Structure 1
Amino acid sequence: MKTPASLAAILLALSPITAGAAVPPAAAWSWPLDPRPAVLRAFDPPAKPWLSGHRGVDLRAAYDGAPVTSPASGTVSFVGVVADRPVITVDHGNGLRSSFEPVESSLAPGAAVAEGGVLGRSVPGHCGTVPCVHWGVRRGEEYLNPLAFVTDLRPSILLPPEDPAPG
């Protein structure tokens, strides 16, 4: 049996990011922590913008004070304190912005950052006693799953084996 031509369309429709959002291909960005962090809390956006939810992912840092790096090149657009937590935001272009908290940084808005460039250092507090960093990604006002930029989140689809050629 041949693979249906519409399979690509089905896979695109199952995108875990958001409907209609053009994003880089999976694994186009780098992880913001090294070594590759465990995900402590997954992306869980609310059904409506005003409801509670988790609009990013919590990543386990190796230790408090671990360097947090830019997942893609961009320009620092915000460095400051939001709700008693130090935050840094990077504008990656095409409407995409990454934010990290709690991260202390000596960078200033307007600073250019390369992919893998150090943005700052993680500080305690977000995940209790466990060192972690919250990473959020937005396109405009829409929150996207940050993991879709560093790994392939498409569901696995098992297809029946192709029929052997007669003969």
Structure 2
Amino acid sequence: MPAPAALPASTIASELSRAAAPLPASLAWGWPLEGVAAVIHPFDPPAQPWLSGHRGVDLAAPQGADVLAPTAGVVTFSGVVVSREVLTIAVDNGLRLSFEPAISQLKVGDSVVRGQVVGTVSGPTHCDGGAAGVVSCLHWGVRRGEEYLDPLQFIMDLRPSVLLPLNN
């Protein structure tokens, strides 16, 4: 079998440049907790809107941990849903971020900036009694309309790796 043809240097340079390009501005959010949080439960969207799934990510967070705004936005809800404190922030491009349990002193209409403390983890969480050694977590969801999105795509580069051919 013949060896694959080598790619021109200009093609390789172009691919390397694309692979190393900075994230688009829409992906330049920060973590909603101090530092890089451990993901306890990843995003697992349901196959159909009415089926079970995990419509966000659960991040390890002790009770009382500060919740930070990942990006600038406006508070659209702060209150109790079922038995958990929930904070919702609308951001540009029509996305809504939700955090629970997150108790906040912010009011609907308050503007927030990236990195601002917007609340604290407080109350029962999705992780209580869950993963070994995890006693508390912050659930972070992102929605566009009625569609749930993986929050990690806005803070981590989840684009596929680009493998380049070997030159012989």
TM-score, with normalisation over the residues of structure 2? 0.80
Q: Does 1:143 align with 2:148?
A: yes
Q: Hey, what does 1:87 align to over in structure 2?
A: 86
- Identity %, equivalent residues: 54
The runs of at least 4 aligned residues of structure 1 exceeding 6 Å deviation read none
Q: Hey, what does 1:97 align to over in structure 2?
A: 96
Deviation by residue 1:111-144 (Cα, 9 ceiling, x = unmatched): 0000111110001421115221000001111111
Aligned residues, how many?
148
Shift of 1:148: 0.2
Q: Hey, what does 1:155 align to over in structure 2?
A: 160
Counterpart of 2:105 in structure 1: which amino acid?
S
Deviation by residue 1:92-115 (Cα, 9 ceiling, x = unmatched): 021111000001001010000001
Secondary structure at 1:94 match in 2: helix
Shift of 1:158: 2.4
Secondary structure at 2:115 match in 1: coil
Shift of 1:155: 2.7
Judged with a 3 Å threshold, the aligned counterparts in structure 2 of structure 1 residues 41 and 142 are, in CA distance, closer, same or farther, namely same
Deviation by residue 1:26-73 (Cα, 9 ceiling, x = unmatched): 3x1000001210000000000111111000000011x21000010000
Q: By percentage of residues, which structure has more helix?
A: 2
Q: Distance in 1 between matches of 2:128 and 2:164?
A: 44
| Structure 2 stretches lacking a partner, 5+ long | 1-5, 130-134
Superposed, which structure 2 residues align to 1:105-116 within 5 Å? 105-116=104-115
Higher alpha-carbon Rg: 2
Q: Hey, what does 1:132 align to over in structure 2?
A: 137
Q: Distance in 1 between matches of 2:148 and 2:95?
A: 10
Counterpart of 1:75 in structure 2: which amino acid?
V
Counterpart of 2:149 in structure 1: which amino acid?
L
Shift of 1:80: 1.1
Shift of 1:159: 2.2
Q: Distance in 1 between matches of 2:93 and 2:114?
A: 16
| Structure 1 stretches lacking a partner, 5+ long | 12-22
- Contact 1:124–1:132 (8 Å) recurs in 2: no
- Contact 2:75–2:90 (8 Å) recurs in 1: yes
Shift of 1:161: 2.1
After superposition, the CA RMSD in angstroms is 2.3
Q: Distance in 2 between matches of 1:76 and 1:122?
A: 17
Shift of 1:162: 4.0
Shift of 1:24: 4.8
Shift of 1:156: 2.4
- Contact 2:43–2:57 (8 Å) recurs in 1: yes
Q: Distance in 2 between matches of 1:92 and 1:125?
A: 26
